[in-house]
């Protein structure tokens, strides 16, 4: 999963490149994490993605992150033959003042319980 971020305006645009893997199909997703959920781990608001150009090696997607917050970005990949989940790649990020920081899953609850402006000071 490769990221390219350009900062223009209120929303932050990220481009996600999903490589082609023969015999599979991929589902990239992005969500804003808003709380803790005992069944699914986190309460998420899924964000729309815009399918970009297809090339020989994969496909690019554009994802708009609307505001400062905590985000989960991932790719699920299934087998075309038996439709079984083959892999799941997930990353967590904090977006604050047009800067993005990758964090570990176990740090997400800390950032949820502390206002981002207090952490930055």
Inside any domain, residue 120: no
Which one has a higher pLDDT value, 4 or 114? 114
121 inside domain: no
Residue scoring higher pLDDT (101 or 10): 101
**57 belongs to a structural domain:** yes
Nearest to 80 by CA among 22, 29, 28, 18: 22
Say how many domains are in the chain.
1
In a domain, 14, yes or no: yes
Is the CB of residue 96 less than 8 Å from the CB of residue 120? yes
Q: Per the domain annotation, does 80 fall within a domain?
A: yes
Alpha carbon distance 63, 31 (integer Å): 10
**What's residue 113's pLDDT?**
85
**Residue 15: inside a domain, yes or no?**
yes
pLDDT, position 54: 79
Q: What is the pLDDT of residues 82-118, one digit of tens each?
A: 999 999 999 999 988 878 889 999 899 888 888 765 5
Domain that includes residue 105, residue range: 2-114
How would you list the strands of the sheet with 58-65, edge to edge?
2-7, 12-19, 58-65, 49-55
Domain of residue 79, CATH code: 2.60.40
pLDDT of residue 9: 45
- In the chain, at which residue ranges do the beta strands (DSSP E only) sit? 2-7, 12-19, 24-37, 41-46, 49-55, 58-65, 69-79, 85-96, 99-103
**What was the pLDDT predicted at 10?**
55
SS3 of 30, please? Answer: strand
Range with lowest mean pLDDT among 6-15, 19-28, 50-59, 101-110 = 6-15
Distance CA 12, CA 24 (A): 30
Residue 94 lies in a domain: yes
């Amino acid at each position: 999963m490769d990221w390219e971020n350009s900062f223009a305006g209120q929303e932050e645009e990220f481009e996600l490149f999903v490589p082609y893997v023969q015999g599979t199909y991929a589902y990239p997703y992005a969500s804003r994490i808003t709380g803790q959920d005992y069944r699914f781990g986190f309460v998420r608001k899924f964000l729309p993605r815009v399918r970009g150009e297809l090339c020989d090696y994969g496909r690019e997607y554009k994802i708009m992150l609307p505001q400062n917050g905590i985000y989960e970005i991932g790719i699920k990949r299934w087998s075309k033959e038996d439709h079984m989940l083959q892999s799941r790649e997930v990353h967590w990020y904090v977006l604050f003042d047009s800067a993005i920081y990758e964090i570990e899953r176990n740090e997400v609850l800390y950032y949820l319980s502390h206002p981002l402006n207090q952490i930055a000071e």
